[in-house]
């Protein structure tokens, strides 16, 4: 039976850039997800940073069959359970706690927890988690720090997010221990608020091409 980390990696299907989305207006959720999927980025993370986030996950899960929607900024077991019931196919957390581990153990929905320090990575490994979020990536040491982790933690792969954009994305994607990156530049707030779905689709295509180099 594949591990939860293997299940999560399989959801990627080669996608190297995961849009990290903050949705303020629920009406934007479905057209945004569809635009990103058309651009080659069907796997998206909707962060629980707004009051519309959970309903956005429900709508995307129910109406956009081509999307693989996950919930981000999950901080506790209650949010984990609520996001899973809303239709999240994966859960992203900035860190790892005993309560989150217990929630993940009792659910078929895989968890992508955050880990930065060697101690945090080792604790995640003891829990059977070897695919981790590295956040905030730039502020925590960036690509150089992740490169230094590749040797002592050869079996661990990361999805760095935080401060990543089109200019430095290639630095991360070139690392052997990076499976994908997360970023908000693919769907900037101003374009989402203006409903510029064609432009967002174009940005998604460019990001997808960046990941295939």
Catalytic residue numbers? 45, 133
Torsion angles phi and psi, residue 189, rounded to 5: -55, -40
C-alpha 146: how far from chain center: 17
Dump the DSSP string for 54-107: HHHHHHHHHH-TT-EEEEES--SHHHHHHHHHHT-SEEEESS--HHHHHHHHT-
Answer yes or no: are the C-beta atoms of 135 and 117 closer than 8 Å: no
Could you tell me which residues come within 8 angstroms of residue 33 by beta carbon, excluding any fewer than 6 positions away? Answer: 44, 60, 64, 67, 69
Contact call for residues 64 and 76 (beta carbons, < 8 A): no
Backbone angles phi, psi at 114, to 5 degrees: -80, 140
**CA–CA dist 70, 83 (Å, integer):** 8
CB-CB contact of 15 with 43 (8 Å): yes
Give the three-state DSSP class for 198: helix
């Amino acid at each position: 039976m594949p591990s939860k980390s293997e299940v999560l990696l399989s959801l990627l299907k080669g996608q190297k850039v995961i849009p990290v989305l903050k949705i303020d207006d629920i009406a934007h959720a479905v057209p945004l997800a569809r635009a990103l999927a058309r651009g080659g980025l069907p796997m998206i993370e909707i962060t629980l940073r707004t009051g519309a986030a959970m309903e956005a996950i429900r709508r995307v899960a129910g109406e956009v069959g081509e999307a693989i929607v996950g919930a981000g900024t999950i901080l506790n077991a209650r949010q984990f359970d609520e996001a899973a019931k809303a239709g999240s196919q994966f859960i992203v957390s900035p860190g790892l706690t005993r309560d989150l581990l217990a929630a993940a153990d009792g659910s078929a929905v895989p968890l992508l927890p955050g880990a930065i320090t060697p101690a945090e990575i080792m604790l995640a490994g003891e829990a059977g988690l070897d695919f981790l979020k590295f956040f905030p990536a730039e502020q925590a040491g960036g690509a150089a720090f992740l490169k230094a982790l590749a040797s002592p933690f050869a079996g661990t792969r990361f999805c760095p997010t935080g401060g990543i954009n089109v200019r430095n994305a290639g630095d991360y994607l070139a690392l052997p221990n990076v499976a994908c990156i997360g970023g908000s530049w693919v769907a900037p707030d101003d374009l989402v608020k203006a409903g510029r779905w064609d432009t967002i689709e174009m940005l998604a295509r460019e990001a997808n091409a960046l990941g295939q180099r």
